[in-house]
Amino acid sequence: MSGEERRCQILQTAISLFAEKGFSGTTTKEIAQRAGVSEAMVFRHFARKSDIYDAILDNRAAHEGMRFPWENDERILRAIREKDDFTLFYTLALIALNKQQADVSFIRLLFYSALEEHELAARFFNGFVMRMYSFIGEYIKERQRDGAYRQLDPKVAVRAFMGMIIHHSINVILWDKGGKILDLSNEEAAKNFTEILLKGIMA
């Protein structure tokens, strides 16, 4: 295997372990074992263990989780043009829920990084999250000008909406794994949260 390939493979292995057990809960030995190489190989590519964590910042795959999958999504662009509120928020919610639950590993990594105060969390927040607030916030402002929504801080509406969605995913992933309290398809969840939000902010 070439240097670049090996480096990448070790990094992927480490990311998945950091997501499972956090940075300090993961040993270089485990990383090496799961990657199927010797520990010396790990240190050949990353001088210190913390360099592996830092390398996540430049990793393409990790940034996958920070992509805006809807910026070129035809359903969404059309819903915005047509001011089809339900379709817009429903589609946003459904895409988010599916994405979050398909990438449990990324969500866990993100929460660990927030608790451990690693730059990854800050970068996610300053990139993805802020962009999200302005994207949805702008639409809400426009609809307020139309008189369709009542006057409230658009950012509060975004927080409420994202709160329902993310909190639901966190429950599915972290707290209520078996669906003990609430077992709901993502379609049902998206529909219900969208209805609550829209009725909640309409004029």
Partner DNA sequence: GTCTATAAATAGATAGAC
Partner DNA sequence: GTCTATCTATTTATAGAC
DSSP 73: -
DSSP 202: B
Q: Identify which range of 32-40, 71-79, 91-99, 122-130 contacts a copy of itself by CB under 8 A.
A: 122-130
DSSP strands (E only) in the chain:
none
| Interaction between residue 104 and a copy of itself (CB under 8 A) | no
Per CB under 7 A, the list member of 39, 73, 116, 142 interacting with DNA is 39
Residue with tokens 């077992």: 183
Per CB under 7 A, the list member of 14, 19, 21, 28 interacting with DNA is 28
| Interaction between residue 105 and a copy of itself (CB under 8 A) | no
Angstrom distance (rounded) from CA 166 to CA 189:
11
Per CB under 8 A, the list member of 15, 96, 136, 157 interacting with a copy of itself is 157
Angstrom distance (rounded) from CA 43 to CA 28:
9
86 makes contact, choosing from DNA, a copy of itself, none, with CB < 5 to 8 Å by partner type, with none
User: Is the torsion defined by CA of 52, 58, 60, 63 positive or negative?
Assistant: positive
| Interaction between residue 48 and DNA (CB under 7 A) | yes
Listed in sequence order, the residues at least 6 apart from 177 whose beta carbon sits closer than 8 Å to its beta carbon are none
Residues of this chain that interact with DNA (CB under 7 A) are: 1-3, 6, 24, 26-29, 36-41, 43-44, 47-50
